[in-house]
Amino acid sequence: MEKSTIKTPLRKLTRRTTKRSWKLKQKLKLAWKSIKMRVRSHLPGFLSTKKRLTHMKSRNQEQELAQAARRICKISNDATNSLAYLLQLPKYSASDFLDRGDMMTPAASPRENISKAWRELHGSKNWENLLDPLHPWLRREITKYGEFVESVYDSLDFDPLSEFCGSCRYNRNKLFEELGLTRHGYKVTKYIYAMSHVDVPQWFLSSSLGETWSKDSNWMGFVAVSGDRESLRIGRRDIVVAWRGTVTPTEWFMDLRTSKEPFDCKSEHGKNVVKVQSGFFSIYNSKSELTRYNKESASEQTMEEVKRLVKFFKDRGEEVSLTVTGHSLGGALALMNAYEAARDVPELSGNVSVISFGAPRVGNLAFKERMNSLGVKVLRVVNKQDIVPKLPGIVWVYRHVGTQLKLDVFTSPYIKQDSDLAGCHNLEVYLHVLDGFHRKKSGFRVNARRDVASVNKSTDMLLDHLRIPECWYQVAHKGLILNKQTGRWVKPVRAPEDIPSPLSTGPRPIYSL
């Protein structure tokens, strides 16, 4: 009897200890799994294989795990919300923007070989199952094209006191080198100029000084082609046409016209003639024999170079694609450019795509239907808070074309929640939000790597505690340099190779890529 009375409490104590230990292990196991699932929800969902483009299943497992955790571990809603809040906190502070040399995290992710999947990434299936969640390969390709457009903004001389206002500060052979874009493996082959005497905002005019490099033309973009190494990675020879947009969007809103012009008189779709907005049409097609840079229109300059490149690489037996990209007004010009290329260059059949950022509506229903029949694939990247994609506002007259990737600026934990909505149209803001986008119902990716400081290049959108100055991207000393011999601040003389030349608009031979 004594033995049993002694052993019984010990057995009970042992059972209780074992039960508590088991329960504690279960709690720790579930808590750890919950943390991993929440972190993984911000990471790309393509973890099973790099060869397939199918994404993982939805978040059912995560929801079941969260319910089980609340039941067994009795985790309150406050605790769960706190965990989610901590995982979404900004990972940058002011100290992260101090120069630490090689110890700093690279601003770009490594790029995989996409040669076997390039058609789907180029829109052959209208980017089905690639946008939600956003495939990391597609994100990097979209960002690449966005950076090409941003390079036009970054190198544009729009100082009204400059005699070269409206031109590019660098010649085409060193554009990417000056802007740090040689990593993309493309070579610029031609600059594109557009007329400025048409109905466009005041900003589009050249320098207010009497003598300028051109009183009629402005630099609008370029044609580039992928080099040999990059072509092997992406699976084809990629020709890119990049169009910039407006410099000050608010002035563009005031001058936007709603009248239409026939764009393709030879083609009728149904009972309607293909028409586009008159301002976009004028910029794209205007020319004059009296000008130095626009004896050919922007359309003719671009198509001449595209045809030359296509013929050159097709004669070598290569697969060739055309990707036209643009922001704002540039997105509108990109659509018209892709329309003409698909119509007039049969060798590009099925390989013409448009990647636009914050682009307005361009044409009527006939324009949209004709674009679809030509096989042009269009991916429109749009910020929810951006007003430009809603323009022109007459929906039954103007129609959007293609597939939309919708972003939300205020999902970024680095952007002020009371930011000026005009800044939501900025291309660097687009690229920042794109880099953090994973899927519609998830927050900003914690492993986004694009440089956050770029957001404030020409805006004041970043949180104050990051201590990044507003509108920091500008020429040092506003273009003045110190003459050390005389001690005077003077305007530098442009190098002869950087002075705009009308000869640069003509065909150039293709050197080793």
Provide CB contacts within 8 A for 296, sequence distance 6+: 287, 304, 505
Per the annotation, the verdict on 400 as an active-site residue is no
Q: Which of 41, 328, 419, 454 is catalytic?
A: 328
Q: Which two tokens stand for residue 75?
A: 């985790």
Q: Which of 400, 425, 432, 438 is catalytic?
A: 425
Q: What separation, in Å, do the N-terminal and C-terminal C-alpha atoms of the chain show?
A: 95
Report the candidate in 374, 330, 326 with the shortest Cα–Cα distance to residue 351.
374
Q: Would you give the DSSP letter of residue 363?
A: B
Instruction: Compute the residue count for the chain.
Output: 513
* Alpha carbon distance 436, 380 (integer Å): 17
Q: Are strands 320-327 and 237-243 parallel, antiparallel or unpaired?
A: parallel
The residue written with tokens 């506002």 in the block is 393
* Alpha carbon distance 226, 218 (integer Å): 25
* Alpha carbon distance 260, 278 (integer Å): 5
| Preceding peptide of 133 cis, ω within 30° | yes
Distances from the Cα of 426 to the Cαs of 66, 112, 149, 387, in angstroms?
38, 28, 12, 11
Q: How many CB atoms lie within 10 A of CB 334?
A: 29
Q: Which of 157, 386, 400, 435 is catalytic?
A: 386
Q: Would you give the DSSP letter of residue 484?
A: T
* Alpha carbon distance 195, 394 (integer Å): 27
Report the candidate in 152, 153, 130, 154 with the shortest Cα–Cα distance to residue 142.
130
Contact of 15 with 47, CB cutoff 8 Å: no
Per the annotation, the verdict on 328 as an active-site residue is yes
* Alpha carbon distance 413, 446 (integer Å): 10
DSSP class per residue in 413-482:
TTB-TT--GGGGG-HHHHHHHHHH---TTS---TT--S-GGGGGGS---B-GGG-PPTT----GGGG-EE
Distances from the Cα of 145 to the Cαs of 151, 224, 430, in angstroms?
10, 11, 12
Three-class secondary structure of residue 96 per DSSP: helix
Q: At 430, give phi and psi (nearest 5°).
A: -55, -50
Active-site annotation, residues: 328, 386, 425
